[in-house]
Amino acid sequence: MAGLVSGGNIYLQCCDLAMVSALLRCYTPISFNFHNGIAMPDQDQASKAALRVKSSKIGNLTTAMVEDTASILHQSGELQPGTGLITSVIALSLGFLSLLGVLAFHFPQYLTTPELRHVYSVSLMRQILFGALLVSGVLSLVNILFGRHRSLNFTALLMVLVAVAWGGSKVAVGEFPDHTPYIGLDWFIIDLLGSTLIFVLIEKMFPLYRKQAIFRFEWQTDLVHFAVNHFIIGLALLVVNVMIHRVFGWMVHADFQNTVASISFIPQLLLCMLVADLMEYGAHRAYHEVPFLWRFHAVHHSVKTMDWLAGSRQHILELICTRVLVLGPLFVLGFDKSVVNAYIIIVGFQAVFNHSNVHLPWGPLRYIFVTPDFHHWHHSSEDEAIDKNYAAHFAFIDYFLGTAVKVNRAFPEKYGVVGDYMPDGFIKQQAFPFRKQD
């Protein structure tokens, strides 16, 4: 904590030095009073003038901080290397996530996910938070001192200072109730940090489209989908759990479940994935072939640029219904908890990876497993790809049932819905299925 407080003092000193330096460069006219024939500065007016200049500078800086931060959030395209913009965006992002992390530490009963906080190490979370604060603070200070995107970096630095002043990584967490309504803020922070580090790195190492920007067109909409999907995890789990027990509960047979649970881990995991994928295939095909259901699924297909974030675009009702239809049979069959947990990790990774901007030499494996090559075709708006490649895990299901895309090219050239009729923005897309159809 001492290191953080000391660092905070350094930040404040640097801010003061920058402000003083700016003031010294300004020319401020000062009136004089004459006393015994000697010109003496009007101290009162000089103080007021200096205060006006300082207030003006602070006001201009605040305006620039707000406007430049809003501007960067509304832009898309490649970040120009060598200008300090990349490090400024990193500092701003880490500063914001750090502030959210401190908020979660202060109100864990309302802002953390019970299923997660019983698994992850709080000590590790504190170390990650400290590292994020340190990196954001150092990057923002360096950029400010070198005059690169100062307004963005002052915003990042302000977030770091507020987070540190509010306790930083040393926030004390006492006893709290374990069954309160909550928002999955911790899950949002952890998943966003982890997914960005893993999948952006993979996309840059093995890109399908080399010129595709990280902040591509409509990234803001998909980030909102990503955030909401994580924030409502508590409500979604509650609804899914209730619906599974009410819809599938009558099918449960204890002896049969014990038989399934007794299968060794690897065969049981593969069986679990196959059952889930068959249910996914059926539900997915219905979303495409039933016009009313397509209204909801079209939200997911409206993405025009595929990357790791694109898979987050989904209608909330579809998300819940699909979870019920897929997890219900797993509940009925009684797969072991460790198997289900492993399946959830696999499906989570595959759902992100298969939408990513990645091209790898899969060879014959592409006929067995669903890969980015396979799933990109499902999102294509080209004629030969319409209503094809439904599987989520095993590509051989589509080949066996005759719904696999048959083309000579590895990847499509066009993505999105035919006609490009989906509005942009999270709220508009959630409302789209309920609009009067032409």
The pLDDT tens digits for 327-379 are 999 999 999 999 999 999 999 999 999 999 999 999 999 999 999 999 999 99
Question: Is residue 307 in a domain?
Answer: yes
Structural domain includes residue 320: yes
Residue 349 one-letter amino acid: F
- Distance of alpha carbon 308 from alpha carbon 353, whole angstroms: 6
Residue 397: name the closest of 410, 408, 388 by CA: 388
**Average pLDDT of the segment spanning 415-437:** 94
Q: Give yes or no: residues 152 and 228 share one domain.
A: no
The reply to whether 162 and 226 lie within a common domain is: no
Examine the fold and report which residue of 152, 173, 194 is the final residue of a domain before the chain moves on.
173
Query: Where residue 421 falls among pLDDT bands split at 50, 70, 90?
Result: very high
Query: Which of these three, 118, 151, 173, is where a domain ends?
Result: 173
Burial of 182-200, coded b for 16+ CB within 10 Å and e otherwise, reads bbbbbbbbbbbbebeeebb
Let me know if residue 327 belongs to a domain: yes
Residue-wise pLDDT tens digits, 397-408: 999 999 999 888
Question: Which whole number is the average pLDDT over 53-77?
Answer: 76
Q: Is 159 left (phi over 0), alpha (psi -120 to 50) or beta?
A: alpha
Q: Which amino acid is at 337?
A: K
Is residue 429's pLDDT more than 50? yes
Confidence tier at 323 by pLDDT (50, 70, 90): very high
User: Which pLDDT score is estimated for 2?
Assistant: 38
Q: What is the pLDDT of residue 47?
A: 66
Instruction: State the total domains in the chain.
Output: 2
Q: Are residues 141 and 223 in the same domain?
A: no
In a domain, 162, yes or no: yes
Give yes or no: residues 281 and 410 share one domain: yes
Distance CA 213, CA 123 (A): 35
Q: Examine the domain organization and report whether 234 and 370 are in the same domain.
A: yes
Q: 408 and 265 in one domain?
A: yes
Residue 34 pLDDT exceeds 50: no
Please give, one letter per residue, the 3-state secondary structure of the chain.
CHHHHHHHHHHHHHHHHHHHHHHHCCCCCCCEEEECCEEEECHHHHHHHHHHHHHHHHHHHHHHHHHHHHHHHHCCECCCCCCCHHHHHHHHHHHHHHHHHHHHHHCHHHHCCHHHHCCCCHHHHHHHHHHHHHHHHHHHHHHHHCCCCHHHHHHHHHHHHHHHHCCHHHCCCCCCCCCCCCCCHHHHHHHHHHHHHHHHHHHHHCECCCCCCCECCCHHHHHHHHHHHHHCHHHHHHHHHHHHHHHHHHHCCHHHHHHHHCCCHHHHHHHHHHHHHHHHHHHHHHHHHCHHHHHHHHHHHCCCCCCCCHHHCCCHHHHHHHHHHHHHHHHHHCCCHHHHHHHHHHHHHHHHHCCCCECCCCHHHHHCECCHHHHHHHCECCHHHCCCCCCCCECHHHHHHCCCCCCCCCCCCCECCCCCCCCCCHHHHHHHHHCCCC
Residues 167, 310 within the same domain: no
Q: Is the pLDDT of residue 33 over 90?
A: no
The pTM assigned to this predicted structure is 0.84
pLDDT > 80? residue 23:
no
Residues 223 and 143 in one domain: no
Residue 84's nearest CA partner among 11, 142, 134, 132 is 142
pLDDT given at position 178: 82
Residues 167 and 225 in one domain: no
pLDDT of residue 438: 63
Question: Residue 187 falls within a domain, yes or no?
Answer: no
Q: Which residues pair with 35 in a beta bridge?
A: 38
Give the pLDDT score at 44: 64
Q: What is the mean pLDDT of residues 201-224?
A: 94
Q: Looking only at Cα atoms, what is the longest distance across the chain?
A: 109
Confidence class of residue 275 from pLDDT cuts 50, 70 and 90?
Answer: very high
pLDDT in tens, 101-142: 999 999 999 999 998 888 889 999 999 999 999 999 999 999
Q: Does residue 352 sit in the same domain as residue 258?
A: yes
- The last residue of one of the domains, among 115, 141, 173, is 173
203 within domain boundaries: no
The residue ranking higher by pLDDT, 54 or 437, is 437
Residue 40 within any structural domain of the chain:
no
* Cβ pair 212, 305 in contact under 8 A: yes
Residue 240 and residue 166 share a domain: no
Least confident of 7-21, 85-99, 182-196, 216-230: 7-21
Query: Average pLDDT over the chain, rounded to whole?
Result: 88
pLDDT at 1 over 70: no
Whether residue 250 is found in the same domain as residue 138 = no
pLDDT confidence of residue 48: 58
Q: Which domain holds residue 268?
A: 219-434
Mean pLDDT of the 223-231 span: 97
Q: Is residue 16 part of a domain?
A: yes
